[in-house]
Amino acid sequence: MGRKAGEQRARVTTALDHLRQQIGLALGAARNARETAEYELARLQLEQLVVRTGLERAAHDSHITERANEPAMAEVLSWLRSVRSEFYREWADGPNRLREIVAASAPGPAGRPPGDWLGRVGSSSGVSAPQLWRIGSSTVDGSAAGRTPGTELTFDVAVPLLDESHLAITSAPNTRPAVDAIVENLLMRVLSTFEPGAVKIHLWDVGQLTAVLPSFYALTRTSAVTVHDPTRLVDLLDEFAGHIRRIHSYTMQAGYPSLRALRAATGKRAEPWRIAVLYGNGEDLHPEQIRDLKRVASGALDAGISLILVDVPTVLGGSVETISMLDERHALTSMTGSDLVVTLDPPLPSGQVTTAAGRIAEALVAKQGGPRSFADLLPTEYGRESSARELRAPVGFFQGEPVEVVIGDATPHALIGGPSGSGKTNFLYALLGSLTARYSPDELALYLLDFKEGVSFAGLAPGRKDESWLPHARLVGVNVNTDREFGLALLRFLAEELRRRSAAAKEHEVTNLEELREQDPEGHWPRIVAVIDEFQYLFAERDTVTALATSLLEDLARRGRSQGIHLILASQDIAGIDAFWGKPAVFEQCTLRIAMPKARRVLADTNQAAVAAPKWHAVVNHDSGIAHGNQLAHVPDASGKGVFPALQRELWQAYAGHGQPRLFDGAHAPALEDSAAFTSLAPAERPRALVGQSIDVADAAHSVELSAAPGRNLAVLGTSAKEALSILDSATRSLARQYRQGDVEFVLCCLVDRCLPAVRELTDRLVAEGHKAGLVAADDLTEVVTTSAAALAGLETPRILVLYGVDAALPALEHKEPGKQSGLDHLRTLLKQGPGRGLHVLGWWRGVARLKDTLGFAGTDDIGAWAALDVQGNELAPFCAGQVVHWSPRQDRALFFDRTTHSSPEVIIPFHRTEASDE
Ligand SMILES: Nc1ncnc2c1ncn2[C@@H]1O[C@H](COP(=O)(O)OP(=O)(O)OP(=O)(O)O)[C@@H](O)[C@H]1O
């Protein structure tokens, strides 16, 4: 047992020894691995330190020299030296090449010494920008470039800026004046490169209000340099965000990814470059400021905007170069790497900078001129633009630069608001002038409607004083405030045009106007702009006009965009916006907002720009009124005496072949002899009696066809003698034109004494025209109807009875001799059977009840057409198939219904009787 136990123990001890040995080996290996790792870490840290400091300066850097004895140091230095010499071996010609690159990429003031350019006003038109801008130079030891050690090789150092990169500068203690010198140097190079106005500089300093770059003072009085309030960084960022969105949307729409690409393709500068210099103090900005700043930075370069941040600790999106100050004259830059120290150019002599800034400011003021005039809105050559994609025209100026309005895909419709007298009408004229001078009538058609009492647009149609008209105008409607139906007619017309365009688009398998024009180059597809001033009148009452106008307007607002039909709605702000209650679709589609000074609710609720806008300015906003879309513009005087007419005359002469617009003037009834509907009449199978002008986009009249069908008589209802005379006059005279002399007989009878002269005059006129016509005395009416009824069966010549004031004859007509029919019975017979035999009655009853009495129990069928004057709508239902009739009597208007052609009555304008006013 004892021996056995001893052996056992010895085996255990051996096993344990073995285990210990194994553990020892493992621990040793781990220790070694750890030492290797620690060495590697130390080496990498040292390498990082040396790379950051720069190999050249490692020997003098205290952080590095104090670690000189570390075992890894020797290896690190030798490794980095070998890497550098390997790199520089390929770079033997580096300094020369760099010099050439900088010379080519930083031409003129961008790279040349200040003596060559400082004080001269730049001349580049700014279609492209230098890629680099010089800030200093750097020197390397010749050995690095394969030259003799000790020789020094110097090359220029420049940084990218416009279109290329932002710049972040970090100061070191006491280097702030040197940082200012870098910024001033860069900005002066930029300003001196381009013609005045091509660059706009914004300065913001968290710490100071006024003393930012004092040598630029002269420029701060122009649009070239703007100094911002230290507490309002948000305004500056908002403004830039607005520019970025605006520029982005139009460059993208034009098919280019950036402003630079657009410039290169079109050869036009289009927009100024913008540089914002933001001076911080090394402390973090507020989180929301950082968020906004980053957002601006990421989209800025494509919009021609560059940021220069000084001591603003944040990481920006987009490309950013850095300059880190070492001391007053030296810095490291991301362009040259941490290895090379840049010797900064000496500050520009401050006196010379002040002089140069003054000269540039003077040149800019001279170039921008004083306040601009209407003529400045016009292009040198008229009618050169194509509207296939959009309409684009300047409407005013901001700091000498034109401010454009774009009507197209993103902004299909516009809402213009401002209190009375704020310049809405003037703005419309500026816009119309600028558009019509750019686009020919084949590219742009205008439909202009003014609900105001007044004659805003009347001058655009030919008038007595000026025979010219605006060739783009297809329709000019003025004084339409009482004729809301005319607004409706315009909307109907536009809706029909929309349908026509959609159908054409479908046929050509395209979806919008631009494509349609491509596919159908021979077609006539101008963009249509419909301007409705004081449009809220459309919705003035709770009636069918409002209901129809709303649905038509909504449809046009939604679908007009793609078919090139655009609405410009103008109104006194509150009234106009209130009119949109319940119609948000229209309001939302008006993404272009124009707010005149003091306009309320046209822009977004929080956007106060219109409140502060000075007189004769407008806030133009292509972003539905959101603040970042604001563009303030001074609008030149476009409505002053002779201003617009001068342009109109030129355009009228240039586009002589384009017909005149239709003028609808609600304050004037057209004369019958001026109406095309009348003058074009000729003898016809089925004569039509004209009753009045229709309220329509087309110059058309309403008429009653006097066929042989039952009920083809006309009744005029109401006491208003002027309109009654007019309607019967135009009906009779128009019928006379459609018969040859002798083929018809007119029998007139007037029971209203004061109308007798007019009726006599009409009779004489008919006779003078060679027609058979006779005026019967009032007392003879019973006899006339009796004999006519007797003759009806054998009537050979068509006969028209024109009876004025039939109701006055009722007592006499009702007189009945025993066993005989009364005159009234005969009249009823004529009304019932006459049309079938060639006899028609055109009669005037001064009340609806009297007409009913005349017709008796037979019902209303024998009056197939009527025109109501001062009669209430509800009285008319029996004559209108029982439907509810909305009609309140209106001066100079009548409500007309013809059972055979109308589903509901329509408003007409009785023709103006010249004779009546001459009486
Ligand atoms: N930019 C301008 N420069 C000079 N005069 C202007 C300008 N804008 C408007 N006016 C003048 O101011 C007056 C009022 O302008 P306008 O008729 O355009 O205002 P409105 O807003 O249309 O007013 P309302 O709604 O009462 O017609 C006019 O006599 C016009 O000539």
Q: Are residues 492 and 559 in the same domain?
A: yes
Nearest CA to ligand 1 atom 8: 423
Alpha-helix runs per DSSP H in 856-899: none
- Strand segments (E) across 814-871: 839-845, 865-868
Band (pLDDT 50/70/90 cuts) for residue 455 is low
Maximum mean pLDDT: which of 207-211, 523-527, 667-671, 682-686: 523-527
* Stronger pLDDT, 152 or 873, i.e. the higher one: 873
Q: Report which ligand 1 atom has the smallest distance to the Cα of 430.
A: 1
CA–CA distance, 484 with 476 (Å, rounded to integer): 15
Mean pLDDT, residues 353-375? 87
Is 159 in contact with 182 (CB distance < 8 Å)? no
Q: Report which ligand 1 atom has the smallest distance to the Cα of 454.
A: 27
CA–CA distance, 249 with 256 (Å, rounded to integer): 10
Does residue 205 have a pLDDT over 60? yes
C-alpha 801: how far from its chain's center?
58
Q: Are residues 481 and 505 in the same domain?
A: yes
Alpha-helix runs per DSSP H in 346-391: 350-368
CA–CA distance, 196 with 193 (Å, rounded to integer): 9
Does residue 112 have a pLDDT over 70? yes
Give CA torsion, residues 406, 408, 413, 416, to 10 deg: 0
| Crossing angle for the helix pair 2-53 and 71-89, to the nearest 10 degrees | 50
Does residue 306 have a pLDDT over 80? yes
Q: Are residues 629 and 749 in the same domain?
A: no
Asked whether residue 852 is marked as a ligand-binding residue, the answer is: no
Band (pLDDT 50/70/90 cuts) for residue 274 is very high
CA–CA distance, 744 with 746 (Å, rounded to integer): 7
**421 ligand 1 Cβ < 6 A:** yes
Write b or e for each residue in 389-406: b if 16 or more Cβ atoms lie within 10 A of its Cβ, otherwise e. Answer: bbbbbbbbbeebbebbbb
Q: Measured between alpha carbons, how far is residue 111 from residues 22, 114, 331, 345, 350 in Å?
A: 71, 9, 18, 11, 19
Band (pLDDT 50/70/90 cuts) for residue 918 is very low
Domain extent at residue 425: 393-452+469-665
Centre of ligand 1 from the C-alpha of residue 426, in Å: 5
Does residue 91 have a pLDDT over 90? no
CA–CA distance, 840 with 833 (Å, rounded to integer): 9
Number of domains within the chain:
4
Centre of ligand 1 from the C-alpha of residue 720, in Å: 40
Which pLDDT tens digit goes with each residue over 859-872? 788 999 999 999 99
CA–CA distance, 691 with 676 (Å, rounded to integer): 14
Asked whether residue 192 is marked as a ligand-binding residue, the answer is: no
Does residue 919 have a pLDDT over 50? no
Burial (CB count <10 Å: 0-12, 13-18, 19+), residue 730: buried
Centre of ligand 1 from the C-alpha of residue 421, in Å: 5
CA–CA distance, 83 with 77 (Å, rounded to integer): 10
Burial (CB count <10 Å: 0-12, 13-18, 19+), residue 870: middle
Cβ neighbors of 178 (< 8 A, separation 6 or more) are 171, 325, 328, 329, 344, 347
Quote the pLDDT of residue 481.
Answer: 79
CA–CA distance, 630 with 611 (Å, rounded to integer): 12
Question: Which H/E stretch holds residue 701?
Answer: strand 701-705
Residue 136 lies in a domain: yes
Lowest mean pLDDT among 39-48, 649-658, 716-725, 894-903: 39-48
Quote the pLDDT of residue 86.
Answer: 72
Asked whether residue 130 is marked as a ligand-binding residue, the answer is: no
In three-state secondary structure terms, 138 is strand
Q: How many CB atoms lie within 10 A of CB 744?
A: 20
Residue type, 262: L
Q: Report which ligand 1 atom has the smallest distance to the Cα of 426.
A: 18
Mean pLDDT, residues 145-168? 84
* Stronger pLDDT, 93 or 682, i.e. the higher one: 682
Point out which residues pair with 307 in neighbouring strands.
276
Residue 880 lies in a domain: no
Quote the pLDDT of residue 90.
Answer: 62
Is 438 in contact with 382 (CB distance < 8 Å)? yes
Centre of ligand 1 from the C-alpha of residue 634, in Å: 13
**637 ligand 1 Cβ < 6 A:** yes
Q: Are residues 350 and 412 in the same domain?
A: no
Asked whether residue 223 is marked as a ligand-binding residue, the answer is: no
Q: Report which ligand 1 atom has the smallest distance to the Cα of 639.
A: 31
Longest CA span, the chain: 170
Band (pLDDT 50/70/90 cuts) for residue 396 is very high
Quote the pLDDT of residue 885.
Answer: 85
**616 ligand 1 Cβ < 6 A:** yes
CA–CA distance, 660 with 638 (Å, rounded to integer): 22
Centre of ligand 1 from the C-alpha of residue 491, in Å: 27
Lowest mean pLDDT among 13-17, 223-227, 387-391, 742-746: 13-17
Q: Are residues 408 and 441 in the same domain?
A: yes
**What's the mean per-residue pLDDT of the chain?**
89
Q: Are residues 620 and 711 in the same domain?
A: no
Domain of 892: which CATH number? 3.40.50.300
Q: Are residues 103 and 60 in the same domain?
A: no
**422 ligand 1 Cβ < 6 A:** yes
Q: Measured between alpha carbons, how far is residue 351 from residues 226, 341, 355, 364, 546 in Å?
A: 21, 29, 6, 20, 69
φ, ψ (nearest 5 deg) of residue 140: -125, 160
**371 ligand 1 Cβ < 6 A:** no
Asked whether residue 421 is marked as a ligand-binding residue, the answer is: yes
The pTM for the full model equals 0.68
Q: Are residues 101 and 62 in the same domain?
A: no
Asked whether residue 425 is marked as a ligand-binding residue, the answer is: yes
Residue 370 lies in a domain: no
Nearest CA to ligand 1 atom 25: 420
Asked whether residue 419 is marked as a ligand-binding residue, the answer is: yes
Question: Which H/E stretch holds residue 544?
Answer: helix 544-563
Residue 33 lies in a domain: yes
Q: Report which ligand 1 atom has the smallest distance to the Cα of 452.
A: 27
Residue with tokens 């003035």: 540
Residue 773 lies in a domain: yes
Closest CA to 304 of 429, 183, 129, 457: 129
**425 ligand 1 Cβ < 6 A:** yes
Mean pLDDT, residues 529-544? 88
Centre of ligand 1 from the C-alpha of residue 423, in Å: 4
Quote the pLDDT of residue 182.
Answer: 96
Does residue 362 have a pLDDT over 80? yes
User: Candidates 639, 641, 643, 644: which one to mutate for ligand 1, based on the most atoms within 8 Å of Cβ?
Assistant: 639
Is 504 in contact with 515 (CB distance < 8 Å)? no
Centre of ligand 1 from the C-alpha of residue 424, in Å: 6
Alpha-helix runs per DSSP H in 194-323: 217-220, 233-253, 259-266, 287-300
Asked whether residue 107 is marked as a ligand-binding residue, the answer is: no
Q: Sign of the CA dihedral 416, 420, 425, 426?
A: negative
Does residue 73 have a pLDDT over 90? no
Does residue 51 have a pLDDT over 90? no
Band (pLDDT 50/70/90 cuts) for residue 916 is very low
Residue 848 lies in a domain: yes
Write b or e for each residue in 128-155: b if 16 or more Cβ atoms lie within 10 A of its Cβ, otherwise e. Answer: ebbbbbbbbbbebeeebbebeeeeebeb
Can you tell me the ipTM of this complex?
Answer: 0.97
Q: Are residues 740 and 642 in the same domain?
A: no
Residue 340 lies in a domain: yes
- Strand segments (E) across 131-177: 133-141, 152-159, 166-170
Centre of ligand 1 from the C-alpha of residue 594, in Å: 15
Q: Are residues 828 and 844 in the same domain?
A: yes
Centre of ligand 1 from the C-alpha of residue 417, in Å: 13
**418 ligand 1 Cβ < 6 A:** yes
Band (pLDDT 50/70/90 cuts) for residue 209 is low
Quote the pLDDT of residue 147.
Answer: 64
Band (pLDDT 50/70/90 cuts) for residue 576 is low
Centre of ligand 1 from the C-alpha of residue 568, in Å: 18
Quote the pLDDT of residue 698.
Answer: 85
Point out which residues pair with 153 in neighbouring strands.
140
Nearest CA to ligand 1 atom 26: 420
User: Candidates 422, 426, 434: which one to mutate for ligand 1, based on the most atoms within 8 Å of Cβ?
Assistant: 426
Cβ neighbors of 219 (< 8 A, separation 6 or more) are 191, 201, 225, 357, 360, 361, 364
Quote the pLDDT of residue 917.
Answer: 44
Q: Are residues 205 and 320 in the same domain?
A: yes
Mean pLDDT, residues 721-745? 95
CA–CA distance, 406 with 710 (Å, rounded to integer): 58
Centre of ligand 1 from the C-alpha of residue 613, in Å: 15
Mean pLDDT, residues 336-358? 91
* Both tokens assigned to 11: 């085996």
Q: Are residues 171 and 246 in the same domain?
A: yes
Q: Report which ligand 1 atom has the smallest distance to the Cα of 419.
A: 21
* Both tokens assigned to 273: 């470059």
Q: Measured between alpha carbons, how far is residue 327 from residues 61, 63, 135, 330 in Å?
A: 15, 18, 15, 5
Residue 32 lies in a domain: yes
